[in-house]
Amino acid sequence: MNETELTRLLKAGPARSCCIPPDAQLALELSARRLGLDFYLVDFSGVDSKAGCIAQLAGALELPAWFGQNWDALSDALTEPALIDGRGAVLCLQQVERFVCREPPGWLTLLDIMSEAAEYWGQQQKPFWCVVLSTSPALVSVPVLANH
């Protein structure tokens, strides 16, 4: 996917989740920044547990001091106005395969939390994207956007 396609994708709706090929990461970041969206790259390499997932997200997103290191707290933090202080945000998750394989229930919970956050921000008319960089078939529960 090129930058023009990704810019069109990010403009397509107020909020959602998707999966794109890893080689599109730079184009995604450029598209997000061009649209005035905050861009967070979250590296999941080495993450193989719920605790590791939450810690990685908390660090990358610089979550507030009150963050409780659990799924409910993550859900609350992702709907904090301070997180989306600009026009919107793109959370880009890379190298998630290890976590997906080792912690399938945690992965599905994370996807649910991201969907809920996207729905919340969509109601606020602010884009919130959770983009997974992967071509792995293990991610079938995430809509996959094919290379054109």
**Model's pTM, two decimal places?**
0.85
User: Is residue 91 within 8 Å of 61, Cβ to Cβ?
Assistant: yes
- pLDDT tens-digit map of 79-138: 888 777 778 899 999 999 999 989 989 999 999 999 899 889 888 888 888 999 987 645
All domains of the chain, ordered by start, with CATH? 3-139 (3.30.370.10)
Tokens representing 92?
A: 């880009």
Burial class (CB in 10 A: 0-12, 13-18, 19+), 74: buried
